[in-house]
Amino acid sequence: MSVRLLVLDDDDGIRTSLSMALEDEGYAVVAHASAEDALQEPSLAEVDVFLVDLMLGGMDGFGFVREIRRRSDVPIIVISAKADTHDIVAALEAGADDYVTKPFEIKEVGARLRALRRRPPMAAPAPASPPGGVVVLDAAHGPLVLDTLAGRVRRGDDEVHVTVTEYHLLRELAESAGRVLSRQVLLDRVWDRGYFGDERIVDVHVRRLRTKIEADPSEPTLLVTVRGLGYRLDPG
């Protein structure tokens, strides 16, 4: 089955050329020029990946990303001429999984998409998991359960809603619990080996993950920063 993409860009030339190139690669593409129209797309719930420009008339890309993230955990790649650090971080914090700066080559977008497709599904069992595929963390503050068979994260009886990227980030850290993983190692493992994006994407996703798994995200005790080296998950 073809991977279903939604391209949102108000530049007719970019929207058309990107859609045609990705269709040639085998993707099923639906394209829109406005966020409002995209949100009314009949097949919106069936989209596998979103490609979103930030500078749009009406609702901007930031608002669209936040709205999609409120509804779904599917990957979102921002494609924008906004190259300022503030804009990149803001897009990632709104819920985007990746960021490509305009002007770009189609093959760069294709490479990012292929990297997303190579990720195992959230419900794939992890080789390092105990029987049942459940890893329990942070026992000192109430168990955080990473169920790798069901592809879910739970705190007690409550499900912790994480994106696909956040799930794989937590899973990589859990499988190396107690060991420091550098940003580059996490980029290689979570965003795929050979990723040529910015390491700041790791920092933003760590911050987002902390808001969901830490009792006090400003004083993390589970997902800690090892200054100058990277991040470590302390089981507690």
Structure tokens at 2: 């073809």
| Residue 233 pLDDT class (50, 70, 90 cuts) | very high
Average pLDDT (24-53) is 95
Instruction: Reply yes or no: is the peptide bond before residue 143 cis, omega within 30 of 0.
Output: no
pLDDT in tens, 129-157: 455 578 887 656 678 888 888 888 988 77
* CB half-sphere exposure, 126, CA atoms < 13 A: 23
Residue spans in the chain of domains classed CATH 3.40.50.2300? 4-118
pLDDT at 126 exceeding the cut of 50: no
19-28, 142-151, 173-182, 203-212: least confident range: 142-151
| CA angle at 146 for the pair 140 and 148, rounded to the nearest 5° | 155
Report d(CA 143, CA 128) in Å as an integer: 19
Winning range, highest mean pLDDT, from 19-28, 87-96, 98-107, 150-159: 19-28
pLDDT at 160 exceeding the cut of 50: yes
Average pLDDT (29-42) is 96
More confident residue, 60 or 215: 60
CATH of domain 134-233: 1.10.10.10
The helices-and-strands tally (H runs, E runs) of the chain is: 8, 12
% of the chain residues with pLDDT over 70: 88
Query: DSSP code of 2?
Result: P
pLDDT in tens, 72-86: 888 899 998 887 778
**CB–CB of 233/177 below 8 Å?**
yes
% of the chain residues with pLDDT over 90: 44
CB atoms within 10 A of CB 56: 22
pLDDT of residue 37: 96
CB atoms within 10 A of CB 139: 10
Average pLDDT (156-165) is 85
pLDDT of residue 23: 94
- Fold classification of 4-118 (topology level): Rossmann fold (3.40.50)
pLDDT, mean over the chain? 85
pLDDT of residue 144: 86
Query: DSSP code of 191?
Result: S
Report d(CA 38, CA 64) in Å as an integer: 9
pLDDT of residue 17: 92
pLDDT in tens, 164-173: 889 999 999 9
Residue spans in the chain of domains classed CATH 1.10.10.10? 134-233
More confident residue, 141 or 220: 220
Average pLDDT (102-125) is 71
pLDDT of residue 38: 97
Task: With CA atoms as reference, report the closest residue to 29 among 45, 18, 13, 40.
Answer: 18
